[in-house]
Structure 1
Amino acid sequence: MTVSGASVTPDVLDGLSLPERVALLRSRMAAVPSRGETASVRIESSDPDPVRSDPIRSDFGEAEPIRAVRQRAVLPVPSALIDVLPHGGLVRGTVASVSGAGSLLIGLVAAVTGAGGHVAVIGQPRFGILAAVEMGAQLSKLALIPDPGPDPVEVAAILLDGVDLVVLGLGGMSVSPTRARAVVARARSKGSTLLVTDGHWDGAELRLDASVHGYDGLGTGLELGRGRLRGVRLSVCARGKAMRPRTVRLDLRSENGRIEWHAEEREQNPLSIAVST
């Protein structure tokens, strides 16, 4: 078994009690240096099932399950989106795509810069800076390149060298599979994330699509369309190569001068309540 580069051979574990084995493995894992905002722990095993629920005894003598789940270093996202993403954030070293309502893209940028990460936005002359600030973005961590010239993909590839998140507006263009693979390899080697929008990118690991399904504050009846916009209701669908589509409904509400993200509360099914009681 290999724990993030630190190997523990079976002969080392021979002769140790179960609590001693657990303590040894924990000490080896604690000694592994972390990289980025989140620690990346990789456990490789010959077990064909990567998720195990075999109970073991902890140091306190209580049975607890071990779940050897592959984790990957990620960039932060708005908290309401964590559960819909397979790794709880934008995976470093990958390419993802975003389409639909612009609030989603702005929220992703705000989350990364708000946590101290650096972001470059390419080919998005109408990027909502004010909305990003209201969502918590730090402008000192944000670089805007509204007009990257005839080859925005090359500009993005260069910026992957030193920026945590690169947002690339394709302007309706389609990137060839050969070139896409080259940029993906670069992102992987640098540990940066590329987020493409307004075009087609073959082989994106994650695809996010946002659509507006309501507003708050625009009045009803004869007053419909009048008033101050207080909130937007979004539906975000996440699709990926190794995941089933997941959809979450979100409320973006203005609270104390800041736009906050909230997962929409769903009413519990009365039948399930009756069954549970």
Structure 2
Amino acid sequence: MGEVAEFPVDDEEAGRAERIEALRRRIAAVPARGEVQSVARGRVEAPSDRILPVPAPLAELLPQGGLVRGSVVSVSGATSLLLGMLASVTASGGYAAVIGQRRLGLLAAAEMGARLHRLAVIPDPGPDPVEIAAVLLDGIDLVVLGLGGASVPPSRARAVAARARSKQSVLVVTDGRWEGAHVRLEARVDGYRGVDGPGRDRLCATRLSVRAHGRAFPPRATRVEVCAGRSAVEWASEERNRLEDGHFRKAVR
């Protein structure tokens, strides 16, 4: 398993300017956006210029089939949604950063296919995580910002959104209030499979209800299953992997 880059920006002895400069130096060491060196083929491969990938069942909900560069996305509910995004982006050759999410399960992200060496983690961003996110937008494809319940003033949200647009990055905000997001994704756990009964002593699948809505499209909803495959955790639409209701144990609300 690859190592996760962790940015120690919470050092009390370091001044604000020094922390920001340290982040910029680290970002400068990241390869050019969207370029992945293929050792086997000896050439540079570039993913889509405009879209960051997401798990296939989520792509069906989004008008462009993924996360549009330069946009702000609000995510709430089950953390599998965030993990799936991180896995898809880093597995495709992109770079991602996670700010203020101490309990995000990186092992689960790796099991979904995330490349941890392309993931930077800042669990303790200090008193101003929004500023850290704004800096990381310069050079990182996907920046996940945990607000810790805070509400970001609309004027500042607009300024950071403009930066994401100019840098062609995607900002994902969660655990707080952010006005003006281009897309909002909500996920709810509906049930589990493999948690009880004979031979069911481990969790084999989680069923999610996912809803998407945004500025340019009406609300859409689907059900997906996050399943333990032979070698990795996989995402499947309910249409593709339909199971009888009796095979699932409903989530307790």
TM-score, structure 1 as length reference? 0.68
In the aligned structure 2, how far is the partner of 1:194 from the partner of 1:100? 17
In the TM superposition, residue 257 of structure 1 has moved relative to its aligned partner by 3.1
Question: Is 1:152 aligned with 2:129?
Answer: yes
1:230 aligned residue:
204
2:171 aligned residue:
194
Structure possessing the higher relative contact order (Cα contacts under 8 Å, 6 or more residues apart)? 2
In the aligned structure 2, how far is the partner of 1:169 from the partner of 1:200? 10
1:169-205 Cα shifts (integer Å, max 9, x gaps) = 0000000000000001100000001000000100000
2:221 aligned residue:
247
In the aligned structure 2, how far is the partner of 1:116 from the partner of 1:171? 29
Consecutive unaligned residues in structure 1, runs of 5 or more: 1-35, 40-72, 268-277
SS of alignment partner, residue 84 of structure 1: coil
1:74-110 Cα shifts (integer Å, max 9, x gaps) = 1000112111011100110010010000111111111
In the aligned structure 1, how far is the partner of 2:215 from the partner of 2:54? 20
1:258 aligned residue:
232
In the aligned structure 2, how far is the partner of 1:101 from the partner of 1:190? 28
1:113 aligned residue:
90
Question: Is 1:217 aligned with 2:194?
Answer: yes
- Give the one of 73, 84, 90 matched to 2:61: 84
| Residues 49-88 of structure 1 aligned to structure 2 (within 5 Å) | 73-88=50-65
| Residues 17-32 of structure 1 aligned to structure 2 (within 5 Å) | none
2:47 aligned residue:
37
In the aligned structure 1, how far is the partner of 2:106 from the partner of 2:67? 21
In the aligned structure 2, how far is the partner of 1:111 from the partner of 1:38? 13
In the TM superposition, residue 37 of structure 1 has moved relative to its aligned partner by 2.4
In the TM superposition, residue 227 of structure 1 has moved relative to its aligned partner by 1.6
SS of alignment partner, residue 60 of structure 2: helix
TM-score, structure 2 as length reference? 0.75
In the aligned structure 2, how far is the partner of 1:154 from the partner of 1:129? 24
Aligned partner of 2:181: which letter?
A
Consecutive unaligned residues in structure 2, runs of 5 or more: 1-45, 243-253
In the aligned structure 2, how far is the partner of 1:115 from the partner of 1:38? 10
Q: How many residues align?
A: 196
In the aligned structure 1, how far is the partner of 2:169 from the partner of 2:95? 10
2:32 aligned residue:
none
In the aligned structure 1, how far is the partner of 2:130 from the partner of 2:229? 37
The structure 1 segments of at least 4 consecutive aligned residues displaced by more than 3 Å after TM superposition are none
| Rg larger in structure | 1
